[in-house]
Homo-oligomer: A and B are copies of this chain.
Amino acid sequence: MAQGCEVRHLSTQLSVNFGERMDTVSTSSAPPSGMRDFLPEEVALRDWATAKLVEVYQSFGFTRIETPALENINNLRRSEGGENLQLIFEILKRGDNLHRVLSRSGPDSGSDITKDLADLGLRFDLTVPLVRFYANNQASLPNPFKAIQIGSVWRAESAQAGRFRQFTQCDIDTFGIKTETAEMELIEATAEALLALGFENFTVRLNDRRILSSLADECGFEPEHHDNLFIQIDKLDKIGIDGVERELTGHGHAPDAVQKLRKYLREFSESQSMEKAMSSMAKFAESGALEQIGNVISAITSVSKSKYKIVFDPTLVRGMGYYTGQIFEISDPGYSSSIAGGGRYDKMVGKMSGRDVPAVGFSIGFERIISILADRKSDLSDKRDKLAVIYDPDRDDMTAVLKAAQAKRDEGKVVSLLPRKKEMKKQLDALSAQGFSMFATYRSDSGQLEIKLLS
């Protein structure tokens, strides 16, 4: 009823804007489709994980930076964002700029203005903004520069279960180191961060884009078909060798090349040791890439203290087009998709600033991590004692109650003032469920709080 009233009230106010369409406009208190409200216990978990990640990353010398949520629309559209370019939330131009565009439009005008209506867009990842940030601030940053970024990104995904339209990404990136030491640091820091969150026995899979290209050349795939080839190889985990063969044939790749690739894929999948997998690549892959793979595996094996594994996986692809060297992913036993991924992208800064800068990044799948941690129901509540001071607004001297609460807070307790409810028993049960360990009432005779434990 009252909601109906509200709509009538608003219709007056908005009649200019909505006119006869008013009846179709619904009032809703739900967040927009694909986006989420986070309740206090959810934020507590996200804050706890963020603090852990930042603490570990900082111990490796990484420092936090931030960029705006919005980027100029052309910076986003021109980036190598792959499929994400189709998912940009675009910001409508305003005022005269908008009216100028609209005045050129119309069903019969023949001009498509859809690309001219927006001047800004919400970032769809943290890498495009990071590269712009680095190009913009290089002179003020140390060299090499090691960045932590934790922030929201937005994608206009079609609404379906598990696909969020706003979600958090958590990246570390190093600029200015051309040797594989940068990869070693990123992999070790990310693995240590996951250990700090309670993950263990996970596997780092390592490959190099140059090895993938050599493999494709060796099998006889044309360079211009490599991108599509890699997309199909990327499905190996899910559809197996036969599935990949069917996909490749279906996409019209040369049958000879497909058969040769099939032979290699079988060889890798049957090779019991990393050495064997590497030696089967050695025939054709450039030796530098293989040597670097070996160096990283040896260093990480040495610092992992057997808490996690690192393996060479010549079938690892990674989706993004901008990688130029090593690529890596982390998979956790019991979860089919990866929980972290990254790689080297030495050409991206140059495309923005005109001068290439070596760069490597590693991104933790923050939302996946959080959903795994939430399942484990870790106890993350505030470790301080929680005291509920229950007052009677009609009778208590509130100045005295505030002073008494302040004294308890000065002792290091969390102290929340709450008005007395009619059903005291029910109120105390609810406080206990919210994590309060004690409650207190004010005794006007003594001028003190009387504190009791909550069961």
Closest beta carbon of chain B to A294's beta carbon, Å: 11
Residues of B within 8 A of A180 (CB): 398
Closest beta carbon of chain B to A226's beta carbon, Å: 18
Cβ-defined contact, A74 with B414, below 8 A: no
CA–CA, A32 to B119, complex, Å? 10
Asked if A335 is an interface residue, CB under 8 A from chain B, the answer is no
Residues of B within 8 A of A212 (CB): none
Asked if A28 is an interface residue, CB under 8 A from chain B, the answer is yes
Within 8 A of B (CB), among A9-58: 10, 13-14, 17-18, 21, 25, 27-32, 35-40, 42-44, 46-47, 58
Copies in the complex: 2
CA–CA, A118 to B118, complex, Å? 11
Cβ-defined contact, A78 with B113, below 8 A: no
Interface string of A166-194 (1 = CB under 8 A from B): 10000000000101110011001000000
Asked if A133 is an interface residue, CB under 8 A from chain B, the answer is yes
Asked if A352 is an interface residue, CB under 8 A from chain B, the answer is yes
Residues of B within 8 A of A89 (CB): 70, 91-92, 120
Asked if A202 is an interface residue, CB under 8 A from chain B, the answer is no
Asked if A67 is an interface residue, CB under 8 A from chain B, the answer is yes
Residues of B within 8 A of A39 (CB): 65, 137, 140-141
Cβ-defined contact, B117 with A92, below 8 A: yes
With A31-B71, A37-B133, A142-B434 given, name 6 new contacts (CB 8 A).
Answer: A29-B352, A43-B66, A59-B415, A60-B415, A188-B402, A299-B398
